[in-house]
Structures are given as structure tokens and as C-alpha cells.
């Protein structure tokens, strides 16, 4: 077992525009992956790749290099990626694995360069909501929208959910989630998919968890697929956004069972869906 993070330093190139798929083939072994957000791309390398980026810009002249960053792996994640404890869950990177007690639920999580190591309050609150639900209800299928590293899907299955589908619009996140599913030997019970959350909300599931941007969230809760779910956990919401989502939930006669608020900013809503009008 490794005792150090997978990368010491990261070399990040921030571009306007999206890459054509074929260019990934000649990025070289130092290329970690590409994080796409709206119409921007962040290319990650383990060593300087100015020559690769120069070639990329010549092949795709519509791309614009905005900036280049060099930082340690720990700086990228805002500090050391270390084991954390949230309720019964003990989330551990593979390079800092430690024995868990019989009362703990161990989860191996390698975030790679994807955010979602488990230390953000919205993630911790989602874990608390999952633990609270699983203590009283048997969940068949769980749908994790905006899955990131796949942590929440893994947590749900570790506590007894039969299967889970982890969906993220970013291919790099979906690949990272798949790696973590394999780390926890749950390939037969969790599927990682790269796709839009809106395209999967109709998928049959007992529980939907969405830790996702508000612009996507408001579309999800407005659709008939959301109303067919029995349980929901909605997170990543700021104060005004949470109020608007709760107004929409009230129209559907949803019962809010619990809510977590961090520093008056981040809101997580846990509830049960009743029949809509």
C-alpha cells in the first residue's frame, strides 16, 4: 500500500473552450485528465507540458490558454488529504489507510484531482443524512447525481443499499468514481456514468441524492421523475437557493425530515416524497 499521495506536484493549464476527444491520445504519460466546466477546460499534468499545450493550441486554434498554475497536490485540495470521521463513516485515502473499529464503516477514497475527499460540509451532511435514513429504512436503489468521487454512492451501498448509480457530467469525475468503486470492491453493485443529472432523474430509485449546482437542482425537483422517488437528500444549496427549493418541495407535499446548515450558508435537506397534486 502506498504511503504518499499519487502526485507530488500538479501542473494545471486553464483554457477557454473544450478539447476535441482525439487530442487526449498524444498528451503523454504525464497527463492526468481534463476537467471541463461550462466552456472551459483544466488540463492536469504531473510535470510541465508547455510543448503539449502549444501543440494542442495549434491543432485547435479555437482554444485560448488563460493561465498556467503549479502547485502541490495538497495545495490543490486545500490541505493534506487525510482520514476523516463522519458519524460511522471513516473515509481514508489509500496512502493513509488505517484500521477501522468494528463500529466504523471504512471507505477507501482516492480523490485524484477531483474535489470531494469528504471534508466539505455539504458532503459530510449528506453522509449524515444517508446514515440517518439507513438506520430506519432498507433502500433498494440509490441514485447519486453530481457524484464527484463517488463517495456518497459508496457510503449508501456500504450501509446496505442494494445498488447505486453514480452520475457526473464530467468524464474525469466519473473515471475517478469508478476507481473508488473498485478500491472498495463494489463493482457489482455501483455503476459510474458520465452524463447530465437531468437525463438520469427518471431512473427508478428509492433514494435520490443530489449534491449539485442550484441551476441543475431546480430542474431536477421540477420533473416527474423526482416526484416518483421515495426519499431525497438535496445539498450544495446556499440560503436563498434552499428557500426556493423548499418552496417547490412544499408544492409537491414533500415532508422535510431534517436539515443541516453550516455557518448560515450551506444547506442540506433530507426528506420523504408524498403524492404530488
Please answer whether residues 73 and 8 qualify as being in contact, where contact means their C-beta atoms are separated by less than 8 angstroms: yes
Digit-coded pLDDT (tens) for 98-113:
887 889 999 999 999 9
Of 276 and 174, the structure prediction assigns the larger pLDDT to: 174
Percent of the chain with pLDDT over 70: 97
pTM beyond 0.85: the answer is: yes
Residue 3 reports pLDDT greater than 70:
no
pLDDT at residue 85, as a whole number? 93
How far is residue 210's CA from residue 255's CA, in Å, rounded to a whole number?
Answer: 17
pLDDT at residue 276 tops 50: no
146-203 pLDDT tens trace: 999 999 999 999 999 999 999 999 999 999 999 999 999 999 999 999 999 999 999 9
Task: Dump pLDDT digits (tens) for 35-82.
Answer: 988 899 999 999 999 999 999 999 899 999 999 999 999 999 888 899
pLDDT, mean of residues 244-258: 93
Task: Give the start-to-end residue ranges of the domains of the chain.
Answer: 9-76, 84-272
pLDDT band at 252 (very low <50, low <70, confident <90, very high): confident
- Going by CATH, does the domain composed of 9-76 fall within 2.60.34? no
pLDDT at 275 over 70: no
pLDDT score for 60: 92
For residue 209, list its beta bridge partners. 144, 233
- To the nearest whole number, what is the mean pLDDT of the chain? 93
Contacts of 11 (CB under 8 A, 6+ apart): 44, 45, 46, 47, 48, 49, 68, 69, 70
Domain spanning 84-272: CATH superfamily: Vaccinia Virus protein VP39 (3.40.50.150)
Amino acid at each position: 500500500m502506498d504511503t504518499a499521495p499519487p502526485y507530488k506536484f500538479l501542473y494545471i493549464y486553464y483554457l477557454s473552450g473544450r478539447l476535441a476527444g482525439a487530442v487526449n491520445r498524444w498528451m503523454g504519460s504525464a497527463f492526468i485528465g481534463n476537467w471541463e466546466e461550462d466552456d472551459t477546460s483544466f488540463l492536469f499534468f504531473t510535470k510541465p507540458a508547455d510543448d503539449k499545450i502549444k501543440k494542442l493550441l495549434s491543432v485547435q486554434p479555437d482554444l485560448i490558454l488563460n493561465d498556467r498554475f503549479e502547485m502541490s497536490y495538497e495545495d490543490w485540495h486545500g490541505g493534506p488529504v487525510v482520514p476523516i470521521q463522519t458519524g460511522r463513516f471513516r473515509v481514508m485515502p489509500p496512502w493513509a489507510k488505517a484500521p477501522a473499529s468494528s463500529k466504523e464503516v471504512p471507505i477507501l477514497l482516492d480523490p485524484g484531482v477531483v474535489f470531494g475527499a469528504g471534508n466539505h460540509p455539504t458532503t459530510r451532511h449528506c453522509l449524515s443524512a444517508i446514515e440517518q435514513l439507513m438506520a430506519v429504512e432498507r433502500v433498494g436503489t440509490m441514485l447519486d447525481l453530481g457524484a464527484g468521487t463517488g463517495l456518497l454512492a459508496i457510503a449508501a451501498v456500504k450501509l446496505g443499499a442494494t445498488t447505486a448509480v453514480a452520475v457526473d457530467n464530467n468524464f474525469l469525475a466519473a473515471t475517478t468514481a469508478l476507481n473508488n468503486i473498485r478500491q472498495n470492491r463494489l463493482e457489482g453493485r455501483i455503476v459510474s456514468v458520465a452524463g447530465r443529472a437531468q437525463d438520469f432523474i427518471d431512473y427508478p430509485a428509492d433514494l435520490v441524492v443530489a449534491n449539485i449546482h442550484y441551476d441543475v437542482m431546480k430542474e431536477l425537483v421540477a420533473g416527474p421523475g423526482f416526484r416518483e422517488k421515495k426519499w431525497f437528500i438535496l445539498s450544495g444549496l446556499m440560503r436563498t437557493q434552499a428557500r426556493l427549493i423548499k418552496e417547490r418541495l412544499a408544492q409537491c407535499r414533500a415532508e422535510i425530515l431534517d436539515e443541516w446548515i453550516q455557518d448560515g450558508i450551506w444547506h442540506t435537506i433530507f426528506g420523504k416524497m408524498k403524492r404530488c397534486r
